[in-house]
Amino acid sequence: MGVTSNKKLGFGLMRLPQTDPADPKSIDLAACEKMADEFIRRGFTYFDTAWMYHEMTSEISTKKFLVERHPRETYTLATKMHSSYFNTEEERDAYFEAQLEKTGAGYFDYYLLHDMGRDNYEKFTRLHCFEFLQQKKEEGLIRHIGFSSHEDAEHVDKFLTEHPEMEFVQLQINYLDWDNGGVQSRLCYEAAERHGKDVVVMEPVKGGTLAKVPEEVEKMFRAYAPDRSPASWAIRFAASLPNVKVVLSGMSSMEQLLDNTDYMQDFTPLTEEEKEILKKAAKIIEGDIAIPCTGCSYCTNGCPQNIAIPRYFSLYNNAKADHKEAWTPQMEYYERATHTFGKASDCIGCGQCEAICPQHLPIIDLLKDVADLFEAED
């Protein structure tokens, strides 16, 4: 795969620090500059962005806090092509050119066909996107081509079989989803392994779920390694897999970046004892999560009712974790959020969110549960 650094940690630019928590476009560039500087100073090089991150401002911000401030050879940059944003080959070409302009990077070290599913695969094929990536690689505008996927293992195998030119695949892998029948982390990883493809890991901490674990799990982690954060266990799990070359972490603060880079500086794979601890942790956590949403926010783009779905699911999970029968602080957060966004009960059941959800969640029904909990007295 040719990663510039041998460090396995990548900086995911999907959850950057914001000056206004309610506005994804309000990226805190000053904070990002300090974080990017420290990341590179510590010997890490991999940055991962995409067209739609931070409501289409992540690539632009990446130019400001990274590209314009660091020599091109000191970092590697990955971005992606999502089929939702073009419908013709001409629009595809314009999309790519716009990414080059937005990032100012000159070329992309890693370029992915994003969210490869059976539906998108048909569109990528029809619009000759695989051939397009190869052409751009020959022109020197892309160094390595691959795809990301939230599909089942059968289809990941199909994509790799039909397109052996793909050099790597980006998969959702974490210890909670490893044997999950819906996500199929292990089976998808094994499919990539059979094809001899390098793996980039996304959602190693499952949208923050594995950074804030139940108290029972945290005590178990602390008993074994008092100074190690819950997130470190999750990221080291993914990084310990032999075919994994980069583990992406969406870092929102310098504190998170320092923690991640500290334990990944001289990475050591999990021991067998640590693996057993994570198996026990997964069983405990599985019984504690009401809605396994990762907070990717794909579902919110274009929602006709402007419902803050991931935010509401997070509040719902937190409320359920409180194990209280009456009021919880999350009810206040929910009520205030509805002054800006549509209520959960405003859902009209159009299904747009379910069609794009990488976790295949029954969002329409889950929003009813959210409404039942938070709007009972409305």
Question: In the predicted model, what is the mean pLDDT of residues 214-221?
Answer: 96
Q: Determine how many CB atoms are found less than 10 A away from the CB of residue 73.
A: 8
pTM of the full structure? 0.82
Tokens linked to 323: 């194990």
Q: What are phi and psi of 18, to 5 degrees?
A: -125, 150
Q: Are strands 198-202 and 142-149 parallel, antiparallel or unpaired?
A: unpaired
What is residue 152's predicted lDDT score, i.e. its pLDDT? Answer: 86
Distance between start and end Cα atoms, the chain: 55
Tokens linked to 333: 């957060």
Percent of the chain with pLDDT over 70: 96
Q: Which of 31-40, 149-158, 324-333 has the highest mean pLDDT?
A: 31-40
Question: In the predicted model, what is the mean pLDDT of residues 237-263?
Answer: 97
Residue type, 213: V
Q: Tokens 């969110």 map to which residue?
A: 353
* Residue (of 366, 214, 356, 374) closest to 292 by Cα position: 366
Tell whether the model's pLDDT for residue 34 goes beyond 50: yes
Q: What is the DSSP secondary-structure string of 178-201?
A: TT-TTT-HHHHHHHHHHTT-EEEE
Q: Which of 87-91, 151-155, 307-311, 328-332 has the highest mean pLDDT?
A: 87-91
Tell whether the model's pLDDT for residue 322 goes beyond 80: no
What is residue 99's predicted lDDT score, i.e. its pLDDT? Answer: 98
What is residue 5's predicted lDDT score, i.e. its pLDDT? Answer: 58
Asked if residue 346 lies in contact with residue 307, where contact means CB atoms within 8 angstroms, the answer is: yes
What is residue 378's predicted lDDT score, i.e. its pLDDT? Answer: 53
Tell whether the model's pLDDT for residue 49 goes beyond 60: yes
pLDDT in tens, 329-366: 678 778 878 988 999 999 999 999 999 998 889 999 99
Q: What are phi and psi of 342, to 5 degrees?
A: -65, 155
Torsion of CA 159, 161, 163, 168, to 10 degrees: 70
Residue type, 295: G
Residue type, 316: Y
